[in-house]
A and B are shown apart, each in its own frame.
Chain A
């Protein structure tokens, strides 16, 4: 009798232990906002204190700017303050084109759309494009990141994950080493985050500038004393796609404030 009760308790404990283990395995992603200091969090949450809103406002200004070629502005189609956008579609970027398996970032979409009305095309990551990207992404604040993970995206995500787990540069670490193995630990005075992308484009305290996800990855690679993936390269798009897919289900925080 006692023995069978003991067995029950032991097996119950075993089940609990297994459940606890599962919790670790299938842990929900945690936004970078949980890893920043209280001061930085307060700065992000106060629209008046968040320096990222300079870029949002600059983006809105550009959004309303009439282009010479077509005498049109973005606002002519998308609404004076972008109110005609379907914000849930904004949360799906970067998209994967079903036929060509091409990755289309939000900025690329804006770049293409802008090129159709403007006679002055802008290069990728031009500050004006980053401002437009920041403004548009900010319209989808609180929408949940919703990147496609099946179909044409599946194979690309595999490649992206491999890049995420590859060591780079003289410091010879991968993204995985810090952002998967050690989130929550301190690297000197900074807490390591999970490297989630839901806050990007984000204002960086370290550089004093806004950075979109691709720029942030490049900055991280430079920090590793590596040769960063080139702007518009296949690698940076794959890495960006995979990292954004890790953030699926997290609320968009653009413009976040991050170290």
Chain B
């Protein structure tokens, strides 16, 4: 770790004026603060390279139909699991719903304030409406910032190479999330 900063120490000797003084006085403080900042503030948001290469191959995309602002048929006919759904919504690398929404989950340090809080959403919206909002909310609100979690892969502009042919969540994950949202009463 010390060796990493050797070039800068050399600059202390060579440098002149304000740079010299600053480097001499504070090189150690800077090193410590940098290390601290990097160690404490880092929050992973995207998948690491290792995680990306570990992604299973893309699943076959299931078509869905919107009727009366709802998707009433479960995607690919799957049924959802509440516990799995609950895990997905708070996982930064999967649903990451907490990036924008407040959810009634204990022990969450920080959540976003962009979308509406979702406590009680299972009372306000029937299951088909919830499903459409997770799958592609732009059928309701075209300018929405919310990603479509199950948009047709061909509709995505410039997808990253690791994400070609993929939906944000799989059909099973969508059904799990919907099953969880229904329980928010």
Contact = CB atoms under 8 A, between A and B. Distances in A.
Interface of A: 43, 47-51, 53-54, 57-58, 60-61, 81, 166-173, 177-178, 181-182, 185-190, 192, 205-206, 208, 221-223, 225-227, 259
Contacts of A171: 147, 168
B185 interface: no
B78 interface: no
Contacts of A167: 157
Interface SS of chain A: helix, strand, loop or mixed?
Answer: loop
Contact of B99 (A50, A57, A58, A187): A187
B114 interface: yes
B37 interface: yes
Nearest to A51: B34
B23 interface: yes
Contacts of A166: 157
A206 B42 contact: yes
A115 to B, nearest CB: 24
B25 A48 contact: yes
Contact of A259 (B14, B41, B98, B100): B41
B112 to A, nearest CB: 5
Contacts of A223: 45-46
Nearest to B155: A172
By Cβ-Cβ distance, the 5 closest A-B pairs, closest first, are A48-B26, A189-B110, A208-B38, A177-B145, A51-B34
Interface in B141-156: 145, 147-148, 151, 156
A230 to B, nearest CB: 11
A192 B112 CA distance: 10
B17 interface: yes
A190 to B, nearest CB: 8
A225 B43 contact: no
A58 B23 CA distance: 12
A48 B159 contact: no
A49 B160 contact: no
A182 B114 contact: yes
A47 B159 CA distance: 40
Contacts of A187: 99-100, 112, 114
A161 B105 CA distance: 39
B126 interface: no
Contact of A48 (B30, B46, B109): B30
A199 to B, nearest CB: 16
